[in-house]
Structure 1
Amino acid sequence: MDDSDTSAILAEDLESSDSRRVCCCFKVPESRRPPPCSCPFSVTVEPVMFLSMFSIVLQWPLSTQYLWDRISEDVGYNGTKGGGGCNASTVDDPLQKEVETLTAQWNLYINMGGFLVGLIMVTLLGSWSDRAGRRLVLIIPSLGLAVQASVYLIVMYLKLPVFWFLIGRIFSGLSGDFNAILAGCFAYVADTSGRGSRTFRVAILEACLGVAGIFASVIGGHWRRAQGYINPFWLVLATNLAAALYAYLFVPETVTPDPEARFLSTRHHRAIFHLYSSDAPQGRRAKLWLYTICFFLVVFVHFGCSDLFVLYELSAPLCWGPELIGYGSAAKNLAYLTSLMGLRAMQCCMKDSWVALVGLTSNIVGLIAISFANSTALMFTGYGLSFLFMASTPVLRSKLSKLVDPLEQGALFASVACVEGLCSLLSSVVFNSLYPATLYFMKGFPFIFGAIILLISAVIIGGLGCQEEREGGENREGSVIS
C-alpha cells in the first residue's frame, strides 16, 4: 500500500466520522496544545507502536535464553555449550528437564508479578486518558519499560540473582506496561477513524507489531550470538526512550485535557462498569460480552503459546540456537503482514465475521502442526500455516469499538487492555504450568490445548455472524416494505 492509498484512507476516515466525533476530536480548541514538532509523514501513533513492540520482541526471547543459561550454570547443565539449545542426543537428560522446568517457572513468576500490577494500572490509565489525553498514556508506559530494561542491564552487568528480573517487571507494571500502550494506540485510532475503515485501520496498527517483530527477531538472534545479551538490551532501553520522546514531540492530542482530571478516582472504574452493564441500544450488552469473551480466548492462546515457543525450540528434539530462534520468531511475526494483506483481500468478498473465522482456522491448523514438530522443517511449516492468525483480533477490536458510543472509546479500550492484561497473566500461569506437567507424555500438548480454545471462540463468532446477517436482512426487508 503506497502513501497515496494511506492518505485516501485517512481522508475517508475524517469524512465518515459522525458529527459528535468531529466536534469532540477534530475541532482543536484553544486549550489543547499542539505537539512541539510536526511529523513530516502521514502517521500518528504507528511509530510508538512499532518502537514499543520492537523492544518487547527483542527482549522477550533474549530474557528467556538468559534465564536458561543462568539456570543451566546454576544446576551444572552444559547442554548449551555447543552453541545450540541442547544436545539432541540427550532427550531424556534429567538435568535438561530440570532446566526447562525452572525456566518455565521463573517465566511464570516474572510475568505474574508484572501483569498483576499492570492489570490495575492499565485500567486507570486507559479510562483516565478520556479526560487527561491520549499522549500521556503513550509516554508513561514507555518510560516504565525503559526502567525495566535498565534493571535487566544491571542484573546482567553485576550477575545478580534472576529474582531481580521480577523487580524490573514490577516497575514496568506500575507504569501500565505494554498493554497501556496498546490501549492508548487503539483508542487513538478509534478517535480518528470512521466505522467503514476502522477494521483496516486497526489491522494497519497491528501490522506495525509484526514488522517490528520481524526486525527485532532477526537482529536479536545474530546479535546475541556475536556479542551476548548486554548490547541488545541497551537497544531495548534506547527504543523505549525513543518511543516516549516521539509521543511527546510528534503525536497530536485527540482529547481536550481536563486540568481537573484526577488519576486516582473511582470514576474510571464506574465508566467501565456502566459500559458493560448498560443495554442501550437494546442487545448491545450481550454482544459486547460475547465479543469480549472471544477476544479473551484468542489473546489468551496467543500469549500462552508465545511464552512457550522459545522454550520449545531450545530443547530437544529441535535444539535450536539463537539464529534459528530469531528466524522462527521472524516467521511468526511475518504473519502480521500476511494477515493484513489477507484481511484487505477478504474484505472485498466477505463480512468481517467470516474474515475472523478464516484467521482462526489458520491459527488452529498451525498450532496442530507445531504440536507434532520434531524437525526444523515441520516447525517452520507450522509457522507458515499460521499466516492468517492475526486476522481475527483486528475484527474483534473493531466490532467492540463499533458497539459503543464515540465518547466511550477510552473506557472501552481500557477494559480491552484490562482483558489483555488478564489474558497475559492467566495464559502465563496455565501454559507455563501445563508445559512442564505434560513434558513426559506429549511435549506439544499445550499447543493442542490452545487449538481447542480457539475452536470455542470460532463457534461464538460464527453464531454472532449468523445473527448479524439475519438482523441485517430483516432491516433491509423492513426498509423495502416501508
Structure 2
Amino acid sequence: MGLFLVEPLVAFYAFASFLVYPLVQQYVYRRLWQELTNTTYPVSDDTSRCSANASNHSSHNEEVQKAASLFSLYTELFSMIPSLAVTLILVTYSDRRGRKVAIVMPLIGSLIYTLSFLAVSFFELNLYLLIASSLVSALFGGSGTFLGGCFSYIADLCEDGQQKTLRMAGIDMVIGLLSGVASLSTGYFLRAAGFNWPFFVSAVFLCFNLLYAIFVLEETVKIPPANADAAEDGSPRCAAFRRLASGIFHMFAAGSERRNILLVLLLLVFTTFSFANGGGLSSITLYELNEPLCWNEILIGYGSALSTTVFLTSYVGLAVFSRCGIPSLVIILIGILSVMTGLALVAFAKTTLMMFLVRIPMLLAIMPFPVLRSMMSKIVSKSEQGALFACVAFVESLSGNVAFAVFSSLYAATVAWYPGFSFLLASGLCFIPMVLLGAVALLGPEEEAGEAKETEALIPGEEGLAGDESHNPALA
C-alpha cells in the first residue's frame, strides 16, 4: 500500500537542489577567477573579501563578474527549450498516464546534473561541460516539470477550494523550510569540505527521492488498460500523441468565453509576476560577491537561508489572510507589492546589514503563486488539471528562464556603472501584473466557484466527474 503524500518528495528535492544551487555560481565564479586572472581565488575569514589585495581585486572583479554572468546565460539558453518542451509534454501527458511520470523524470534529470557537477569538481574537468550536462538533464524536464506534476497530484486529492489553496501554499512552505536549511549549511559545508561533498550529499538525497517516487508514492490517476489507446485508432502511439497535442486546446475550447478570458488573465498575471520576481533574484549572488559587499561563502549561505524564509512567512500570511476573509486578489496584490519594495531596496544596499534588512519587505513575496494556482485550478474540470498545470509549469519555466537570460546579460552590461540597475528594472516590471490584476477584478473573480460548475457542465461527459471516486483513489 503506497502513500498519497507528495510533500516528502518536495522536501528532499528542495533540500538537494538548494544544497547545490548557492554553490553553482560560486564554483563557476572561482574557476573563472583562476582561469582569467591566473591567481588563486582570495579566500578570507573576514566578512568581506574586499580587504584582501584591494588594489588588484577591483581590476579583476569586473572581468570575472561579466564572465560568470555570461556563463549563466549560456547555461540557461542551452537548457531552456528542451526543458520547456518536456514540461509541456509530461505534465499534460500525466492527465492520461498518471502524475508520477511528471515527477520521476525530472528527478532523474536532476540526479544527472548533480553527478555531472560532482565529476567536474572532483576531476577538475573543463568548466563548459556543465553546459552540456544542463542540456542533457533538461531533456528529462526541470523543476517546472516536477512542481507541475506535484501540483497536479495535489489538485487530484483536494476537493475543497480553500484546502487546495492551503495545501499548495504548504508545498511552497516546505520548499522554503528545506531550502533554507540547505542554504544555511552550504557556506559551512563549503569551508569545511570544499565543493565535492555538498554535490555528493545532494546526489544521495536525489537517489532516495527517486526510490520514494517509484516505489512508495501512490498514483492518483486511474490508468486505462494498455490496449485502450490502440482501440481508438489502431495505434497506441498515435492516440497518445493526439491527446497530448489536443489536451490544452480542448481545455480552452470546451470552456465559456468568460472562463477562458479569466484563465488567460490569471496566466498572464502569473507569468509577468514570475518574470519580474525571478529576474530580480537571478543576480543576487553575483551582486553579493561584487564590491562593496564582497561576501564570503558563509554570508552568502546566511543570505540564501534568510531569503528562503519568505516561503514560511508567505504561508503564514496566506493562512491568516484566508481566515480573515481577505479576497484572493488583495492577497495577490500584497505579495506583488512585497516583491516590488524588496527589489527596489536591493538596488541601494551597499552594506552587509542593509543587504540582510532588504529581505524583510519581501516576507510575503510567495503568496501570489499558490493563490493564482488555486484560482486557475478551480475554474477547470478535474480531467483538465494536468493540462492546466502543464500550461502553468510551461509559462513559469519560460518566464523564469527568459528572465534569467535577460537579467544575466543585463547585469553583465550594467555591472560596471550601476550593479543595482537590474533590480530597479525588476521592481518596475511588477506594475504589469498589478495592471492585469485590475483587469481580473473588473471581470468579476468572485464568481469563480459558479464558473467552475458552469465549466464542468459545458464539457461533454464531465458532468459526473467531480463525484467520481475512481478518479481520486485517495477518497475511495
Structure 1 and Structure 2 fold alike (TM over 0.5): yes
TM range (shorter): 0.7 to 0.9
In terms of mean alpha carbon deviation, does 86-95 or 190-199 score higher? Answer: 86-95
Q: Kindly indicate whether residue 5 of structure 2 is the aligned counterpart of residue 44 of structure 1.
A: yes
Q: Secondary structure at the match of 2:241?
A: coil
Listed as ranges, the matches of 1:312-323 within 5 Å are: 312-323=287-298
Listed as ranges, the matches of 1:370-409 within 5 Å are: 370-409=346-385
Select which of 243, 251, 255 maps to 2:217.
251
Select which of 270, 273, 284 maps to 1:298.
273
Question: Which amino acid counterpart does residue 134 of structure 2 have in structure 1?
Answer: R
In terms of mean alpha carbon deviation, does 180-189 or 243-252 score higher? Answer: 243-252
> Does the CA-based 8 Å contact 1:117-1:173 persist in structure 2?
yes
Q: Kindly indicate whether residue 30 of structure 2 is the aligned counterpart of residue 81 of structure 1.
A: no
Select which of 115, 121, 126 maps to 1:150.
115
Partner of 2:398: 422
Q: Secondary structure at the match of 1:161?
A: coil
Give the C-alpha shift of residue 78 in structure 1: 4.8
Partner of 1:289: 264
Give the C-alpha shift of residue 145 in structure 1: 0.8
Question: Which amino acid counterpart does residue 362 of structure 1 have in structure 2?
Answer: S
Give the C-alpha shift of residue 423 in structure 1: 1.4
> Does the CA-based 8 Å contact 2:280-2:427 persist in structure 1?
no
Q: Kindly indicate whether residue 88 of structure 2 is the aligned counterpart of residue 123 of structure 1.
A: yes
What is the number of residues matched between the two proteins? 434
Partner of 1:132: 97
Give the C-alpha shift of residue 270 in structure 1: 1.9
> Does the CA-based 8 Å contact 1:69-1:80 persist in structure 2?
no
Instruction: Please report the TM-score for the alignment, with normalisation by the length of structure 2.
Output: 0.87
Let me know the Cα RMSD of the aligned residues: 2.1
The 1:216/1:175 distance shift into structure 2, 3 A limit, reads: same
Select which of 44, 69, 72 maps to 1:104.
69
Q: Secondary structure at the match of 2:255?
A: coil
Q: Secondary structure at the match of 1:153?
A: helix
Give the C-alpha shift of residue 281 in structure 1: 2.4
Q: Secondary structure at the match of 2:350?
A: coil
The 1:357/1:446 distance shift into structure 2, 3 A limit, reads: same
Q: Secondary structure at the match of 1:319?
A: coil
> Does the CA-based 8 Å contact 1:91-1:316 persist in structure 2?
no
> Does the CA-based 8 Å contact 1:401-1:412 persist in structure 2?
yes
Q: Secondary structure at the match of 2:358?
A: helix
> Does the CA-based 8 Å contact 1:142-1:243 persist in structure 2?
yes
Instruction: Tell me the distance in 1 between the aligned counterparts of 2:267 and 2:318.
Output: 20
Query: Gaps spanning 5+ residues in structure 1: where?
Result: 1-33, 476-482
Give the C-alpha shift of residue 470 in structure 1: 7.5
Instruction: Tell me the distance in 2 between the aligned counterparts of 1:143 and 1:118.
Output: 13
Question: Which amino acid counterpart does residue 265 of structure 2 have in structure 1?
Answer: L
The 1:143/1:282 distance shift into structure 2, 3 A limit, reads: same
> Does the CA-based 8 Å contact 2:106-2:146 persist in structure 1?
yes
Question: Which amino acid counterpart does residue 42 of structure 2 have in structure 1?
Answer: T
Instruction: Tell me the distance in 2 between the aligned counterparts of 1:375 and 1:46.
Output: 37
Select which of 160, 163, 176 maps to 1:210.
176
Select which of 322, 325, 331 maps to 2:300.
325
Instruction: Tell me the distance in 1 between the aligned counterparts of 2:249 and 2:435.
Output: 27
Q: Secondary structure at the match of 2:363?
A: coil
Question: Which amino acid counterpart does residue 321 of structure 1 have in structure 2?
Answer: N
Instruction: Tell me the distance in 1 between the aligned counterparts of 2:137 and 2:164.
Output: 30
Question: Which amino acid counterpart does residue 285 of structure 1 have in structure 2?
Answer: N
Q: Kindly indicate whether residue 309 of structure 2 is the aligned counterpart of residue 311 of structure 1.
A: no
Question: Which amino acid counterpart does residue 207 of structure 1 have in structure 2?
Answer: M
Give the C-alpha shift of residue 469 in structure 1: 6.1
> Does the CA-based 8 Å contact 1:357-1:462 persist in structure 2?
no
The 1:402/1:469 distance shift into structure 2, 3 A limit, reads: closer
Instruction: Tell me the distance in 2 between the aligned counterparts of 1:53 and 1:469.
Output: 33
Instruction: Tell me the distance in 2 between the aligned counterparts of 1:132 and 1:471.
Output: 32
Partner of 1:29: none
Select which of 405, 412, 416 maps to 2:388.
412
Select which of 226, 230, 233 maps to 2:199.
233
Select which of 141, 144, 149 maps to 2:106.
141
Instruction: Tell me the distance in 1 between the aligned counterparts of 2:55 and 2:16.
Output: 34
Select which of 201, 210, 224 maps to 2:167.
201
Instruction: Tell me the distance in 2 between the aligned counterparts of 1:106 and 1:332.
Output: 24
User: Percent identity of the aligned residues?
Assistant: 30
Instruction: Please report the TM-score for the alignment, with normalisation by the length of structure 1.
Output: 0.86
